[in-house]
């Protein structure tokens, strides 16, 4: 089993920055990829970025590329989502999730392959 706990959300003005953390515990050696997702009420969960647990490969979607980046801290068993130049449309609940068995391309991991999820953290960007 893997447990994920997000933190770092909050209220920020447009143009500001936040760093979300995703702390992993349990059988972390089984983790292969950690993804970041966001969801607003009434909409589907949206994939934002991902990082291999090795830390060597990252990916972010076009809508956040150049503003968001993800990384892994090998010592702390944590993954981070650094969010800069935030916009009101970035407002959402952000989740981290982990895959353990899927080995496919990082940008095309099916949602169902993310078998462990954190509880989510709210990010609100005011205009």
pLDDT tens for the chain, residues 1 to 127: 999 999 999 999 999 999 999 999 999 999 999 999 999 999 999 999 999 998 889 999 999 999 999 999 989 999 999 999 999 999 999 999 999 988 889 999 999 999 999 999 999 999 9
Handedness of CA 67, 36, 47, 109 (dihedral sign): positive
Residue 42 contacts residue 97 (beta carbons within 8 Å): no
Q: Rounded CA gap, 15 and 21, in Å?
A: 20
Question: For the CA atoms of 50, 116, 1, 105, what is the dihedral angle to 10 degrees?
Answer: -40
Q: Rounded CA gap, 25 and 95, in Å?
A: 16
């Amino acid at each position: 089993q893997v447990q994920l706990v997000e933190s770092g959300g909050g209220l920020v003005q447009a143009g500001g920055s936040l760093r979300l953390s995703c702390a992993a515990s349990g059988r972390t050696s089984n983790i292969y990829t950690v993804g970041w997702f966001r969801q607003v009420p009434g909409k589907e969960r949206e994939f934002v970025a991902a990082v291999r647990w090795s830390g060597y490969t990252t990916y972010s979607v076009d809508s956040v590329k150049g503003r968001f980046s993800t990384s892994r801290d090998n010592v702390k068993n944590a993954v981070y989502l650094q969010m800069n130049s935030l916009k009101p449309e970035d407002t959402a609940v952000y989740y981290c999730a982990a895959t353990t068995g899927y080995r496919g391309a990082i940008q095309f991991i099916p949602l169902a392959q993310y078998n462990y999820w954190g509880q989510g953290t709210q990010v609100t960007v005011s205009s």
